[in-house]
Amino acid sequence: MRSRITEWMDGFSSGGGALVLLFLELLVAVVLIGWAYNRGFRPTDRGPLVRWPLLIIGYGLALVVQHVHQFWWQPLIIAAAVVVAGFFGRSSYSSGLGVPVMLLATLLGYGLVLSAIALTVLTVLVLALSPAGKR
């Protein structure tokens, strides 16, 4: 019987390209959302284009969702990630970005790239068209 660590290490060596692609997909989505969020703010009020804690937590969520295949654990993990994103958003200046990033990470973890693109476009449109004072 192989250990879990050996299975993860084999997954990294054989599917490293897929992991890098997953990270790049999430990075592009976070950059687009960060750009749309910063639109309308003065240069001194703008935040970073990439919120690194959100990106790293979202990437971890995508990896966990990819490797957990039990029917009951997947919704619990997603719900916990959305709750953590909500708490994370309340404590930082970019309050509206946590939940969309976690949902994008979940969709990308499941391999639903078209749905992730649609959610990214919708989030960018909402953020770009909403006034900066109401975010």
Radius of gyration of the chain (CA): 16
Q: Which domain does 127 fall in, by range?
A: 17-134
Q: How many domains does the chain have?
A: 1
Residue 122 has pLDDT above 90, yes or no: yes
Of 6-10, 48-52, 71-75, the one with minimum mean pLDDT is 6-10
Residue 128 has pLDDT above 60, yes or no: yes
Helix residue spans in 39-130 (DSSP H): 52-67, 73-91, 98-110, 113-129
**33 belongs to a structural domain:** yes
Q: Looking at per-residue confidence, does 134 or 84 come out higher? A: 84
* Amino acid 39: pLDDT: 86
C-alpha distances in Å from residue 17, one per residue of 34, 67, 101, 110? 25, 16, 22, 16
* Amino acid 62: pLDDT: 92
* Amino acid 105: pLDDT: 93
Confidence of residue 33 (pLDDT cuts 50, 70, 90): very high
Confidence of residue 75 (pLDDT cuts 50, 70, 90): confident
**9 belongs to a structural domain:** no
**10 belongs to a structural domain:** no
